[in-house]
Amino acid sequence: MRKLSYLSITARFPNFHVLWLVAFLAGCTQTPVAPIEVPLDLVGDVVLDRAVQIPAQDSLLEIGVLIFTTENKAGEDYKIGDWIFDEIIQKETQFLPNLMKDTLQDSNQWGAIRVIPEHDPSLDLFINGEILQSDGQTLELKIAATDSSGREWLNKVYADQSDFEDYPESTRFTLDNTFDATNFVDPFQDIYNQIANDLITVRSRMDEQTLLDLNLVTDMLYASDLSPDTFADTLTVGEDGLLRVDRLPALDDPMLARVADMKYRHHLFIDTVAEYYQTLYDDIQPAYVLWRRYSIDQISEIEAAQQQASRSDYGSSSGFLSLSQRYDRFKWSKIFEREFNDLAVGFNNELAPAILELNSQVHGLSGTMEQQYRQWRGILRRLFELENGDGAFQ
């Protein structure tokens, strides 16, 4: 019997390559390998604990929300096109901290709260976040909170999932339907509410003296950052591994007044930094919400395709109609995926000017925001040395 070549078959049957492709797809989808998924511990619906009255002065700790981090993919896990979404995640590291800051401010439980690019010795409590997973449907954050003495307040993973109800029709904004930022509630607001409530719970377990000691530790840490030699002996590490004040300058020591003056100037600067991050947040939000909405659309499309492929009357059928339907599903999923990738590229291009503005010169400084931050702290150290001379408290 004469064997037919692929070319001779396609010559006689022009649609053979389409039939071959859908048959191949059918063979691939009849025995899918189900991924092993660990269910997330979701925070659910969380009501923010708001203070009716402003807490006592000692409880008004100043908080720094650091720019979030994200885990870098290993080389073997990196796929073509992943760089597009890596860029989005990098922008999220500067976007999501503002949601945390706004939530803490809304709780009316704390002192000044600022988004900062790195650890700052002038603040009492620091929140570090790592983005473990982020798309339109799921957000998973690893949050660590530590105070200036080294005491750990939080170290846990927070996760939540959204649905279409969290993305009202206004999120599909057009020229005739602009985005309403004022009334928009982030789909994952419950995560930030839970973090804020957990911080309040930890603080409630501390007595007034502990909070007062924490404020003193912060003051001496900042003084030591300005002049390490002068204030080197003011702090010591206790048996519990936490920093504590060992000795203090006299209350009328002029250097304390200079330290307070430098701290005031420094806080004016980091307030400006926080305003830049807020401006970045405001610029990013409309495009970011649109991207998240499109992301959950894509996830829904993929899940629908998987469910349809797993139906017994569909997945096991080898008829031409069934194969054609499967091919159409595959074709449209690829088109949808391409559109999603294009939107991701557009999202990055849309936000590029905002990132450049964030890293532009502030008060005559240059470089990235992190570099400007370090330059400013160095300027204050030199200024303190000039104003203080060689004096030291006894």
SS3 of 127, please? strand
- CA distances to 260, 270, 323 from 362, rounded to whole Å, are 23, 11, 61
Mean pLDDT over 146-160 rounds to 97
Separation between Cα atoms, residue 388 and residue 259, nearest integer Å: 10
Contact at 8 Å (CB) between 91 and 348?
yes
The dihedrals phi and psi of 153, each to the nearest 5 degrees, come to -95, -45
> Helical H runs in 62-156?
82-107
Separation between Cα atoms, residue 249 and residue 172, nearest integer Å: 60
How confident is the model at residue 308, as a pLDDT? Answer: 66
> Helical H runs in the chain?
6-12, 16-29, 82-107, 189-204, 208-226, 254-310, 312-315, 320-358, 369-388
Highest mean pLDDT among 49-58, 141-150, 304-313: 141-150
> Does the structure show a pLDDT above 60 at 129?
yes
Separation between Cα atoms, residue 165 and residue 73, nearest integer Å: 32
How confident is the model at residue 142, as a pLDDT? Answer: 97
How confident is the model at residue 378, as a pLDDT? Answer: 76
Range name among 13-22, 68-77, 152-161, 180-189 with the lowest pLDDT average: 13-22
Mean pLDDT over 201-223 rounds to 94
Instruction: Identify the band that residue 277 occupies on the pLDDT scale cut at 50, 70 and 90.
Output: confident
Instruction: Identify the band that residue 198 occupies on the pLDDT scale cut at 50, 70 and 90.
Output: very high
Residue that the structure tokens 């904004």 belong to: 173
Contact at 8 Å (CB) between 129 and 69?
yes
Mean pLDDT over 318-325 rounds to 47
Contact at 8 Å (CB) between 104 and 40?
no
Contact at 8 Å (CB) between 285 and 292?
no
How confident is the model at residue 53, as a pLDDT? Answer: 87
Contact at 8 Å (CB) between 97 and 66?
yes
> Does the structure show a pLDDT above 60 at 237?
yes
How confident is the model at residue 311, as a pLDDT? Answer: 57
> Does the structure show a pLDDT above 70 at 170?
no
Range name among 241-245, 269-273, 349-353 with the lowest pLDDT average: 349-353
Mean pLDDT over 177-202 rounds to 90
Separation between Cα atoms, residue 244 and residue 212, nearest integer Å: 11
**Mean per-residue pLDDT over the chain, rounded:** 75
